[in-house]
Structure 1
C-alpha cells in the first residue's frame, strides 16, 4: 500500500502569529514591518515630506487657502473662523487617533479629517471644504509633495555632480585601461571615465528640473467633483469671473505658477508618469555608475570608501566588499522599476476618475522619492571617498600596453618605408606568441622584447620607449574633461551655488 501523503499543517490561529505568540503582544515598533527606505536609507527631510503629519497638515493648509480666498471674494466667512483654522494647521499627536476612529466609521479619509479639524476649529467647522471635493486636498497636496521632494533631490544631485567634477579634474590625465565588450581597449583616463558618469547625471538634473517646472505649472486648484467647477459657480451665484479668481488665488497661495485649465476629478496621472520617468532614468544611472565602480573595485583600480572598523565579510577577514556601490545598484534597480506603476495607473484610469489609483500611488510616489534620496546619499558618500590605486592601474596598463602599442609600431615602420601589410604580419605572429606566454604560461607580456630582439624591427628600436608612453594613448581625454567641467557642469550648477556652499559629505546610517 502506498504511503499516505502527509497532511498539510493547519494554519495558525487568527489570534496568534506564525511563531505562536499571541498577536495582542505584538504591539511595539520592533514587532511590525519597517520599510527599509524609511528605517535604514533615507534622510529625515525626505521622510518628513511624505509623513502623515506633513500630509494632513498640508491638507489643513489647503483648507486655509480655500477659506481665505473665498472670504476675500465675498463669501460670509468670519475672521475668527479663519484664525482658528490657521492656529491649528499643524495636526497634533492626539488628533491622529480621533481621525483614525472617524475614518474607520466613515470609510473616508478626507471627511474624517474635515471632522477632526472642525473639532479644534469649531467656528470654521461649517465652512471647511466649502465647495470642494476630496481631491482638492489629496491631489493638490500630492502636487505640493512632488514639488517639495524634487526641490530636495535637485540640490543633492548638484552636489554629487560637483564632487565628481572635482574628481574628474584631479585625474583627468591619469591613464588607465579602457574597456569595450568587457575586454581591454584603448587607454582612457580615470577622469575621462568619471566624465561619462557626470554627463549622464547632468541629463538627470535637466530631466528633474523640467519636471519640477512642469509641476509648478500644473496645480489642480479648485475644480469641483468632475472638474466642471459647478459647485463653486453655485456658491458664487453664477459669477464665472469669481470662480476663475478663486482658482488663481488658491494656486498663488499654494506657491504654484499656474493651475491646469481643465482637469477631471483628479490631476492627470500622466504627471506622475513624467515625474517617475525622470526618477527612473536617475535610477538607471545609479545602477550603471555603481556597476562601473564595482568592476573597477574587482580590478583593484578604484575603490569606494572603506572605514577603519568596517567588515567586508563575516568569514573572510581580508575582504573589502563594495557594499555601498552594491546597495546603489540595488536601490537604483528598484527606482527605475517604479515608472511602470505610474504608466499602468495612468493608462487604467476611467473617464473622470476611478479609485484604483489610490492605494498604488500611496506606495509608489513616496517610495520612488525615498529611493532616489537613498541613492543620492550613497552617491554623495561614495564620490567623496573614491580611492584611486595608481600602482595597480599602471601594472594593468603594462600587461596590456604592448598589444595596444602594435599600431604605433606599424605606423612607425611604415614611416621608415616598410609595407604595412608585411609589418602587420610580422607583428601578428609575435603578438600570438606573446599572448600564448601570458595565457598558457602565466608569464609577463614579452611582446616588446620579442620586437626588440627581431632584426626586422631594427629601424624603430630607438623609438620603442616613446611608442610605449601611456600618455600618447589617451588622445584628448584631459581636454574633454576640462571642457565638460568648464562649460556644462559650471552652467548646470550655477542655480545651486548657495546650496553647494553648504554641501557636506553624506554619512550612511548603516
Structure 2
C-alpha cells in the first residue's frame, strides 16, 4: 500500500506508538504465514519419517525431493496473491494452500496439508507465537525486576513516610516500598513462566480431534498416529501435546494466558499509580528529558506521563480477559467459528500491550529520581506524631502513668493539628507542649527523633528479599538482563 493511502487509514497505536518492533513483527502477517508453511513441512516430514504409504501399494507417498521443494519455499509468501485467492474462497487457509501450491512442482503439491484440518496451522501457529511471546515477556519482566531491585537496594535505608488509607502512617524506606512493587512483579513472572513452560501443542488431531483422517492415511495403525502427534510437536519445539482436543484446542488456554498477562497489568497499574502520587508529593520523579514538554499551556508542569501511560495501557490489558473467557464459555461441542475474529484481535493485542507496558516500565525503573530533601522535609513534618508512642514509653519507664501520658498526647496532638489546619501551627509545637508537662519531664526528646529508629526492619527486609527472591531470577536470566528502553513518543 502506498504511503499516501496508508496515511488515510487507522493506525493501531499499539504498533505505531507503544509496542516494540520485534513483538509487532512476531504477530504480523508474514511471520504467521511463514509459520504455517513450516507447520506443513513438519507434518509432511513426520508423515515421511513414519512411512506414510501411498494410496495404493506400499511405496512412500512423500519423498525426500518433495520435502526439499517445500523447504525451498518456506519464506517466499506472496501476500497479495493469497489475498486474491481468499477473495474467491473466503477461506484464509485454503487461500494460502493454493498460494503455496502455485510455487511447487506437481508432485510436491499433493503433500501439503495431508490429513490436516485448518486448525492444524491456525491453532498450532497461535501456540507457537504465544510461546515465543511469553518467553519475550518473561525476559523483559526479569529485566524490569533486576533494575527495580537495584533501585530498592540503593534506597533501602532512606526513611520515608508510609501511608495507609493515603494518610501518613509509620515510617518505611524508599527501598522497602520498591520491594512491595517488586513482589507483585515476581508473582507475575512466576505465573507467566508457568504458562510458558507448560504450554502444550495442538499437534495433528484431525477435523474433530479424533485423528480419523490420519488413522485412514496410516491404514489403521494407531501407534503411528500417536507418534505423528508427538513428532510434529517435537519438530516445532514443543515437548508436550494436548491430550485431547476438538477441532480446536481448548480456548480455556487462551483465557488462562490472558489472565496471566492481566496480572502484569495489575501490578504495573498499581506501581504507576503510586509513582503518580509520589510525583504529586514531589518525592520521587520519573525520567524527564531536556526537551520534554509537560503541558502545551502550562510550561512549568512536569507531568508523570510515563506512569500515566503505563496505567492507561494496563487498564486496556486488564479489560481483555473477559472476551477470552466468553469465547471459552460459548464454544459449541467440538468448535464454532465465532471464536476466530475475536481471537485475531485480543490475543495479539494482549501481548502487544504487555510488551508496551514493559517498555515503559523498564524506561522508568532505570531513571527514577529520588528527591531526598523533600522526603526528609515530609518526614520531619510528621515525625513528632509518630514519635509520640516512643515518648510515652520513655515517660512510663521514668515513672509516669501510661493512661495519663496517653491523654496528654491526645490532647496536645489534636490541638496542634487544629492549628496546622488553620495555617498558624507546625508539627514541632507538639514536643514543645509535651516538654512543658511534668509527666514528660524526664524524657530525652532529641533521642527519639532520629528517623532511622522508626523504620523497623525495612532495610533488612529489602536485603533478605533481594537475596531470596531477586537474585535467583537474576541467575535464571543471566545474560538476558540489562534491557534498556527508549519510548517511541
1:469 and 2:450 equivalent? yes
1:266 and 2:248 equivalent? yes
* Contact 2:140/2:483 (<8 A) preserved: no
1:56 and 2:33 equivalent? yes
What residue in structure 2 maps to residue 170 of structure 1? 154
* Contact 1:284/1:332 (<8 A) preserved: yes
Using structure 2 for the length normalisation, give the TM-score: 0.96
1:497 alignment partner, SS class: coil
2:279 alignment partner, SS class: helix
Match of 1:130 among 92, 114, 130: 114
What residue in structure 2 maps to residue 504 of structure 1? 483
Distance 1:241 1:121 in 2: 31
**Ranges in structure 2 where 5+ consecutive residues have no aligned partner:** 53-60
2:102 alignment partner, SS class: helix
What residue in structure 2 maps to residue 195 of structure 1? 179
Aligned-pair distance for 1:91? 3.5
Change (3 A) 1:308 1:26: closer
* Contact 2:416/2:425 (<8 A) preserved: no
What residue in structure 1 maps to residue 66 of structure 2? 81
Distance 1:116 1:124 in 2: 13
* Contact 1:26/1:32 (<8 A) preserved: no
Change (3 A) 1:175 1:209: same
Distance 2:436 2:302 in 1: 43
Distance 1:469 1:108 in 2: 73
Change (3 A) 1:345 1:91: farther
Q: Deviations over 1:275-299 (max 9, x none)?
A: 1110011111111000000000000
Aligned-pair distance for 1:37? 0.3
1:69 and 2:46 equivalent? yes
Q: Deviations over 1:460-508 (max 9, x none)?
A: 1xx11111111111000000000000111111332211212xx232100
Aligned-pair distance for 1:444? 2.2
* Contact 1:53/1:91 (<8 A) preserved: no
Distance 2:92 2:2 in 1: 28
Distance 2:5 2:371 in 1: 48
* Contact 2:408/2:434 (<8 A) preserved: no
Match of 1:41 among 13, 18, 27: 18
Aligned-pair distance for 1:25? 11
Aligned-pair distance for 1:442? 4.6
Match of 1:239 among 199, 216, 221: 221
* Contact 1:69/1:249 (<8 A) preserved: yes
Distance 1:232 1:44 in 2: 39
What residue in structure 1 maps to residue 81 of structure 2? 98
Aligned-pair distance for 1:73? 1.5
* Contact 1:67/1:128 (<8 A) preserved: yes
What residue in structure 2 maps to residue 205 of structure 1? 189
Aligned-pair distance for 1:47? 0.8
1:392 alignment partner, SS class: helix
Aligned residues: 479
Mapping for residues 226-375 of structure 1, pairs under 5 Å = 226-375=208-357
CA RMSD, Structure 1 to Structure 2 (Å): 1.3
Distance 1:136 1:26 in 2: 35
* Contact 2:395/2:439 (<8 A) preserved: no
Distance 1:479 1:412 in 2: 26
Using structure 1 for the length normalisation, give the TM-score: 0.92
What residue in structure 2 maps to residue 20 of structure 1? none
Distance 1:357 1:301 in 2: 48
Aligned-pair distance for 1:26? 10
* Contact 1:37/1:370 (<8 A) preserved: yes
Aligned-pair distance for 1:436? 1.5
1:119 and 2:102 equivalent? yes
Q: Which is bigger in relative contact order (C-alpha 8 A, separation at least 6)? A: 2
Distance 2:361 2:12 in 1: 21
1:436 alignment partner, SS class: helix
Distance 1:113 1:91 in 2: 12
Distance 2:274 2:193 in 1: 26
